[in-house]
Amino acid sequence: MQAIYDTIGKRYSTYRRPDPHIARAIHAELGEAASIVNLGAGVGSYEPEGRRLVAVEPSRMMISQRPRTDSLVVQARAESVPFRDGAFDVAMALLSLHHWSDIEKGLREARRVARQKIILLTWIGFCEDFWLLDYLPQIRTIDEPLFPSIEEMAEILGPLRVIPVPIPHDCTDGFLCAYWRRPRAYLDEGVRTAISTFARVPDYEDGLRSLKKDLESGEWERCYSHLFDSESMDFGYRLVVTTEPGP
C-alpha cells in the first residue's frame, strides 16, 4: 500500500521543523527513558539524542529526509511492529495516530512493546475558535472525526494524564494551527503541502481567495488583531501519557 506521506511529505523537513517549546514538553515526559520506539516517526522530529531509539515509519519519502543519526529505522506501520513484548521503555507517537488505518490496533501494539510509558501528541478538536474555520469551515468536519477521543484512548491504554500543549505564535512545526498569528502563511503552497488536512479538504481555493482579499483590504486585521496580544494559544493539541506501566 502506498504511504500517503510518499506524496505529501516531499518538503516536510523544510516546513515541519521541531518547535523548541513543544520539544521541551515531550522531552520532560521522556525523562531518562533509555530505549524509545517512535511510531510514525516521520523525519525524526522531537527524537532525543543519546538513547537507544528505533523509528517506525511507513513512508520512504519521510525516511529519506531523516538526518543521519545512530537511530535504527524500520519501514512499518504502527498496527504491526516487529518487536518483542516490552522491548522499549517508552513508545511515543507524535501527530501520527490520525493517519493510522486501525488506531486501536496501533495503540495495543504500543502498549505491548512499551515497558514503562506511552506518550502521544494528539489533538482533541478545536477547543478555541480558530479563525481559519471562518474561511474554510469544511476543515472541522474533515479533521475532527480522524482523532480518537481521550476516553477512547483510555479504554485501550488505561489511565491517562492529559497535558495541554499551547502553540507559540512563531511555532516552527508547521501543522494546521501553527500559523494562527501568521495568516499569510496559509496562502503559501509549500506551507499547505506540509499540512495533511489540505490533502483531504475539498474546494479550499474559494476560502483562500477570501482570506487573501481580507488580508489585502485590512479586514482580517480588523476582525482578528486581538490575536497579537497573545504569545501562545490552546488549539486542542495535547500530550497524552499513560500513568501505569504496561502488563
- Contacts with ligand SAM, residue ranges (CB under 6 A): 3, 5, 16, 39-42, 45-46, 56-59, 62, 77-79, 94-96, 99-101
CB nearer ligand SAM, residue 101 or residue 230:
101
Instruction: Please report, as a single letter, which amino acid is at residue 175.
Output: F
* CB count in 10 Å sphere of residue 67: 9
Closest residue to ligand SAM using C-beta atoms = 42
CB nearer ligand SAM, residue 37 or residue 132:
37
CB nearer ligand SAM, residue 79 or residue 104:
79
Minimum CB separation of residue 195 from ligand SAM in Å reads 9
Answer whether 113's CB lies under 8 Å from 221's CB. no
CB nearer ligand SAM, residue 17 or residue 182:
17
Minimum CB separation of residue 212 from ligand SAM in Å reads 26
Answer whether 114's CB lies under 8 Å from 246's CB. yes
CB nearer ligand SAM, residue 73 or residue 154:
73
CA gap 103, 120 in Å, rounded: 12
Minimum CB separation of residue 189 from ligand SAM in Å reads 18
CB nearer ligand SAM, residue 81 or residue 211:
81
Distances (CA, A) of 76 to 42, 63, 90, 199, 218: 12, 11, 18, 22, 48
Minimum CB separation of residue 118 from ligand SAM in Å reads 14
Cell of 133: 474555520
CA gap 243, 200 in Å, rounded: 34
Minimum CB separation of residue 179 from ligand SAM in Å reads 15
Distances (CA, A) of 48 to 23, 38, 67: 9, 10, 13
Minimum CB separation of residue 221 from ligand SAM in Å reads 30
Distances (CA, A) of 67 to 70, 133, 159, 182, 225: 10, 35, 35, 28, 39
